[in-house]
Amino acid sequence: MQALSLKGTRPGRSAVILAGGNSSRMGEDKALLRFEGRPLLCWTVEKLALSAGEVVVVAKDEQHAKQLLNLTCSAGDGFGDHSRELEEQDHRVVFTWDSISGYGPVAGLCAGLCKASGVYVFATGCDLPFLKPKVVDRIFEMADGHQGFDAVVPVQNNGFYEPLHSVYRRDKMLAACRRALENKERRIYAPLQELQVYRVLMEHFRSIDPELMTFFNLNTQKDLETARALWSVHGLSCQQ
């Protein structure tokens, strides 16, 4: 599969975007869903290009991967305001697809980790319109500073993890995902049980994201309406 070249920063760090979900609650492919003039996937790739030297997009199958590659390369759907900041180093966007169908995010993450080259990998979905590069950077920095751990995972006040807004040691998480698949586990929490996890309360990030908008994901049409309303009030400040 062809790789898309951008300009980016942060060599040695990778990011994996899971874009092959069924989007059943949304009713349409979230990766292709247009938000403020561009597909959601383009927003996500662009943001992660500011924090990682390589972005791996995981589609549901080869045909879907080609569709997403064409989407991100097409005129008018490319990369917007942040592209001016991506000036210094070559940056790769790699497209791949789930190795095993029907096993949800575990299979997708396994496929993405196989393609990633960084020691640390930020894993996320394609449905975070307000993803904040500064928050992603902070999580990478925590991983660098806590090398006795295999993962840095934000945690809600009620104790629930945010496993798709987290940084993992590539080798450890890949091995854990493979074992989960061998055990026919579909839950993203299954591989986490094998890792040494550094938990950080989401509240920690309010200093750089006061409303914690980076964690706002789109699962339903109502979520999409809310995101558009937030954009109408805050505009590009939502994206910074």
Quote the pLDDT of residue 217: 87
Q: Across residues 210-227, what is the average pLDDT?
A: 90
Q: Check pLDDT > 90 for residue 115.
A: yes
Q: Check pLDDT > 70 for residue 213.
A: yes
Residues spanned by the domain of 221:
3-239
Lowest-confidence segment of 35-39, 131-135, 177-181 by average pLDDT: 35-39
pLDDT 10s digits, 44-90: 999 999 999 999 999 988 888 888 888 765 534 444 433 322 233 34
Give how many domains the chain has, as a whole number: 1
Q: Across residues 4-17, what is the average pLDDT?
A: 69
Q: Determine the Cα–Cα distance for residues 124 and 129; give it in Å rounded to an integer.
A: 12
Q: CATH number, domain at 49?
A: 3.90.550.10
Quote the pLDDT of residue 10: 60
